[in-house]
Structure 1
């Protein structure tokens, strides 16, 4: 019987049992893709990440991530952030280096690790340059699929934006509207396919006492995720869109996600032209052994 260590990381979290939980399996080179998919199904989280040896020149680590439904995730979101939090906080990375390169699919993108004298490491990841793929000025169907009336929609078009994954950015008027969303997964999946999007990021720029620039929720029935408490591959596109519209103060956006799920998550994104950098922290909350 083979034994394989795994770790549980709360990503974009300030305290345990918040943020977005990630199952992480390091040293996974001996696993087949079929086994990786089966393990991801066993953990039944939005994503499970496997650390394997890189195949691209210049990469320090290669990440392969799968949803519980077996779909491989190729964007750099919480699936990658959690892996680098583990690498930084467990002493795997050399302490005299602060810049690294991660391979996800065929892409090799930079990662920066900030190690304060006290406290947890902070990870910053470069996402792919944003692409603004599709827009619709008639988002009423999406509102209805989310259990909302058209009055909840903000006065802006809905946009499909990509920084590694295609997601629909759907603006709502208030935080209460965001919290009220109750999607019909089958109906939403059909609408997303019609605009070439994978998931739906509903958001508002209404302010609150937390100081966040945007308040969001993420639904992705396309890959079997009912709701995700923190979504880096959607936060990057939202920040790029807000920056394009002149709504990013100094190019920085702080997004609060997961509040409605009881898993508050803070995602910071800096946008400078085609550069989209996602930052966050988190903590390892559990570990165990897989017996295969």
Structure 2
């Protein structure tokens, strides 16, 4: 006998419908086996699919599990996969919200992370998610190999401005400064070469950025590539924007406070990710738009 399971699509960090990073949210999957969750994620073929599940820890309100199309489970808070799931929960009336911030806790793996949902006069405004304290990892010094992997010339990598370095606020990504926005747009990575470089320095994904953004009020213009989990390019990546903002503050290229990152423009899905950096604390905030709902039978 088949079972019907509802799903929803949320455009996260979006400036309008059909922009931002599209997320599939599956409701009521608490009894699904791991392999079936992975197969559902493969069916949706989104950069990530998130399952909203009952929490198994008493200090959490909901548990989230997210998978890439290749079945890789994604951990850490403050990415589009978690923010979008909470936006759907709020929009669907599954949460008790008052005006101003209402605080919740989400379980991801065995860890619990805080978040706040802001509402004004009954209208959802934004979700703020705390990430882990920034940890700086290895620097990548072989700029020639990196440039080749990205399809650029070595002089287009601005390692003299800020190091090419792995930084984590829950997920470790290699941050690569690029001279200008035009060079960022020209990047066409060789997935195998980039995969090898990321493994060498202990990075999951590669976040390339320039400091001449297109959108007013933003600090950086970025693209994200993650061959280690089978994502060719992601239009909005909160788990990379958090490390980038902390990296810029640590090197004096941005002031503590709210830092806005533009991403996804090259893909035609412009996203704005807001990152708060203050005394070693990093949080990511953003909005979502529920653009589709449906159900499938298994």
Q: Identify whether the pair has TM-score above 0.5, normalized to the shorter chain.
A: yes
Distance in structure 1 (CA, Å) of the matches to 2:257 and 2:201: 28
DSSP-derived class of the 1:87 partner? helix
Shift of 1:142: 1.2
How far apart, in 2, do the equivalents of 1:101 and 1:285 lie?
Answer: 25
Q: Find the counterpart in structure 1 of residue 228 from structure 2.
A: 222
1:223-242, Cα deviation, whole Å (9 max, x unpaired): 00000000011011101101
Which stretch shows the higher mean deviation, 93-102 or 104-113?
93-102
Question: Do structure 1's residue 151 and structure 2's residue 155 form an aligned pair?
Answer: yes
Retained in 2: the 8 A contact 1:85–1:121?
Answer: no
- Counterpart Cα distance in 2 of 1:138 and 1:252: 32
Match of 1:160 in 2: 166
Paired residues of 2:12 and 2:80 also in contact (CA < 8 A): yes
Q: Show the counterpart of 1:62.
A: 63
Per the alignment, residue 74 of structure 2 pairs with 73
Distance 1:209 1:236, change over 3 A: closer
Deviation of 1:6 (Å):
0.3
CA distance in 2, matches of 1:105, 1:179: 35
Q: CA separation in 2, counterparts of 1:40 and 1:121?
A: 28
The answer to whether residue 250 in structure 2 is matched with residue 249 in structure 1 is: no
Identify the range of structure 1 (255-264 vs 126-135) with the bigger mean alpha-carbon deviation.
126-135
1:236 aligns with 2:242: yes
Please report the TM-score for the alignment, with normalisation by the length of structure 1.
Answer: 0.97
Q: Which moved more, 1:84-93 or 1:132-141?
A: 132-141
The unaligned stretches of length 5 or more in structure 2 are none
Q: 2: CA distance between counterparts of 1:209 and 1:159?
A: 25
TM-score (normalizing by structure 2): 0.95
Residue number in structure 1 paired with 2:33: 32
Shift of residue 249 of structure 1? 2.8
* Residue matched to 1:91: 93
**Residue ranges of structure 1 left out of the alignment (5+ in a row):** none
Tell me which residue corresponds to 2:137: 133
Q: CA RMSD in A?
A: 1.3
C-alpha distance in 2 between matches for 1:175 and 1:92:
41
Q: Is the 8 A contact 1:40 1:67 kept in 2?
A: yes
Distance 1:54 1:247 in 2: 40
> In structure 2, what is the equivalent of residue 52 of structure 1?
53
1:289 match:
295
CA distance in 2, matches of 1:169, 1:252: 19
Shift of 1:118: 6.8
Aligned counterpart, 2:115: 111
Q: Which residue number in structure 1 is paired with residue 210 of structure 2? A: 204
